[in-house]
Structure 1
């Protein structure tokens, strides 16, 4: 009997979140093409995307022995170096294991909907792979649709404790762990050291010294001149996931949330006084003209913005900048918070060998994998042990990212309504940047998200 699945809600993965997922493509070591070409996964197509088989799988090699297990694994296409690393690690797994063979396929990601189209086509046909790569904020959507299975029974306490809290938070839905990631992400506040020296401004170097909103605004105003903005928020990435990824910590640091803890409502959360105040602050940044709605692609790197809230990929694009740069912690209101989240792995409910599939998942997220992936992509690792093994995270500027990942990272909410929730927040953030009535916009978006939530409350 063919397994019956729930409908997978359309996944709208907009511009920048893939940039928070590693890889090396134009402008930085990120899979999202510096956050400007992220997949827009509207899962309404039935055609499967192109695939590229990896390693020995191209030759149709099976694991040795009649009783060996062959597993299928899907990974989304990303930057060449990152993709090559995945292939290398899978080939190494196959070499190290006689009883399990992984047939991995790199699903071509055309920057539109090809990856989610492939997932949905396989879902309809009943031939999902055993192991699947998915974007962290969408774990709940996959779990609610019965596409991925809980891995609670497989992970050890020791292993769980080695992952940074945000990875476990990202992978958990309804109290069950469904996914694990090999990398994390963060958004530090980059700054131009030359400009700071000229202006006599000392940058904070630790979470304890992070600027409050008032201090942040005051410095941004001081640094704004006729020919230079004080801040870049990369609004050129568009109205999409970047605005939630980068912007939600304004709410969290103000003791606000986007959705209730039990995930049943956004009324009183998405439109709470804390959220309104947070977006009013964002509105002030634009009203004071310290940040541009239409920045150039390389505004910070070209010295036309003194500061920038950007991901680790900005450190790569700034390598050739004609100035010295540094990182400082994300500014806060009441309690320091920072963005987090990246690609992860899940075991599909169609797998006939979930225990063996978890061995592959554990291999792809173990200390060696997380260190290697961090070295290839520039993204922070997902494990405490990896941070301890990588010396450059002990020193500035990278210690700022380490401290944010291990101390202040906050995962985006896990709800099957996330595709609508994230778009709602992004629309409100953009409305604030345009100077619109924040409270009115949030109330409108609450009604929209509440309708979506009702779909999952039988």
Structure 2
């Protein structure tokens, strides 16, 4: 391992990589009263292979799903018994620190759930092992999931669910401000709104009562997660495709232009640098760059007419790109029964299980065939069908590099400072943007060169 000595520091940085939503940090496990094991429904024989899983705890419906499914597996496989420890994430560092401690003590579980951008880090440091042999045919999985879970041409993890981000709008507010909502409703994946159209809507809808749009998901991983497609659409991703350099990418002319476009929303007062919680739901903004999980929130709670359309594209290229990513299951280097763990993952990720798990956690499924399952019937209809369409056609995973945690932290900090400067000065300073993005590139280079360059 090249970087285990700094794993605790990295864990602190990547603890915030949960922008893909749905993971309920404050939820409690559906475990029995004794311990944190979320499912152990069959008394295993002393000769049975024991497989353990670690995963962040989630809402009750998900915990109940695990109890049911592990009970089903254990009843049908007395020779391979699986238990799961659901680790409470009300302390956002608890899960990551537990993993970091287990890495240094060589006491990892057999199967570990990791957030998508972390897969490359764990693979590069040989904390998880390749699982390509157990998933020889990946055609049914959306390409973005396969890409996010692949490092050096080997599959290291596999996910059941995905996420996406789209452009939400309050139809009542837009109509009051003279925006044609019928036009927004009629957009297709081949004709999404452009940056200039997004800006015009935000300008029209900024009033004394509310701002025109919402672009700051949070001041952590939400920034690189939600905004990356803007950069790709303009022509340059944050980091090179091979994950080795940020120089000429995050600090490129295209990146400076993209960042200036985003900062202009703050400078003009069209968006808030520190938005209130549930800003769109609370009618404090008219439009929003928001996650797929917002559909359930708005459906249940919004007292206004709302719509959602495809992620905006750069005027210059019209290239459609959308965010994605979610937690994935991996086999760790400390697993003594890799074959059995691989068999379990094959079963866990079959179409029926993916469909029922996605339904329980209220996220899009990674397998195309899952949408034919009755459990996913609502994803056939708008607005969830729009999110599936994006996942299957325009989704691009975050950069696959072992230095992603360093990049994410430094980029989010730089963007927060750029937005704060724009808010205080009322203008966008491209020289300042270039200076801060150069700093992001330099820190990435230092981290990658120190720990991973051959």
Normalised TM-score (structure 2): 0.88
Deviations 1:335-384 (A, max 9, x none): 11111111010001121221211122223322222222222222111111
1:270 match: secondary structure:
coil
Give, in whole Å, the separation in 1 of the partners of 2:85 and 2:327.
16
Q: Does structure 2 conserve the Cα–Cα contact (< 8 Å) formed by 1:19 and 1:33?
A: no
Give, in whole Å, the separation in 1 of the partners of 2:271 and 2:228.
18
Alignment match, 2:321 = 337
Alignment match, 2:204 = 222
Residues 1:325 and 2:296 are matched in the alignment: no
Bigger shift: residues 78-87 or 124-133: 78-87
Alignment match, 1:164 = 142
- Aligned-residue offset at 1:121: 2.0
Alignment match, 2:413 = 427
Give, in whole Å, the separation in 1 of the partners of 2:67 and 2:290.
29
Residues 1:380 and 2:381 are matched in the alignment: no
Give, in whole Å, the separation in 2 of the partners of 1:110 and 1:443.
35
Task: Within 5 Å, give how 1:236-385 maps onto structure 2.
Answer: 237=218, 239-318=219-298, 319-333=300-314, 334=317, 335-385=319-369
Q: Does structure 2 conserve the Cα–Cα contact (< 8 Å) formed by 1:122 and 1:128?
A: yes
Task: Within 5 Å, give how 1:101-140 maps onto structure 2.
Answer: 101-140=81-120
Residues 1:212 and 2:194 are matched in the alignment: yes
- Aligned-residue offset at 1:205: 3.7
Alignment match, 1:396 = 382
Give, in whole Å, the separation in 1 of the partners of 2:46 and 2:37.
22
User: How many residues were matched structurally?
Assistant: 425
Give, in whole Å, the separation in 2 of the partners of 1:65 and 1:33.
36
| CA distance 1:442–1:19, shift in 2 (3 Å) | closer
Deviations 1:44-95 (A, max 9, x none): xxxxxx96012226x8x21x483x3211111112223223323322222212
Give, in whole Å, the separation in 2 of the partners of 1:51 and 1:183.
27
Alignment match, 1:42 = none
Q: Does structure 2 conserve the Cα–Cα contact (< 8 Å) formed by 1:13 and 1:240?
A: no
Give, in whole Å, the separation in 2 of the partners of 1:357 and 1:8.
28
Unaligned runs of 5+ in 2: 28-33, 423-428
Q: Does structure 1 conserve the Cα–Cα contact (< 8 Å) formed by 2:15 and 2:93?
A: no
Give, in whole Å, the separation in 1 of the partners of 2:254 and 2:128.
34
- Aligned-residue offset at 1:392: 2.4
Q: Does structure 1 conserve the Cα–Cα contact (< 8 Å) formed by 2:378 and 2:384?
A: yes
2:20 match: secondary structure:
helix
Residues 1:408 and 2:394 are matched in the alignment: yes
- Aligned-residue offset at 1:175: 1.3
Alignment match, 2:403 = 417
Q: Does structure 2 conserve the Cα–Cα contact (< 8 Å) formed by 1:22 and 1:82?
A: no
Give, in whole Å, the separation in 2 of the partners of 1:316 and 1:4.
42
Give, in whole Å, the separation in 1 of the partners of 2:5 and 2:117.
18
Give, in whole Å, the separation in 2 of the partners of 1:371 and 1:172.
22
- Aligned-residue offset at 1:7: 4.1
Residues 1:451 and 2:446 are matched in the alignment: yes
| CA distance 1:87–1:176, shift in 2 (3 Å) | same
| CA distance 1:312–1:261, shift in 2 (3 Å) | closer
Taking only aligned residues, the RMSD between alpha carbons, in angstroms, comes to 2.3
2:133 match: secondary structure:
coil
Give, in whole Å, the separation in 1 of the partners of 2:393 and 2:131.
25
Unaligned runs of 5+ in 1: 24-30, 35-49
- Aligned-residue offset at 1:267: 0.8
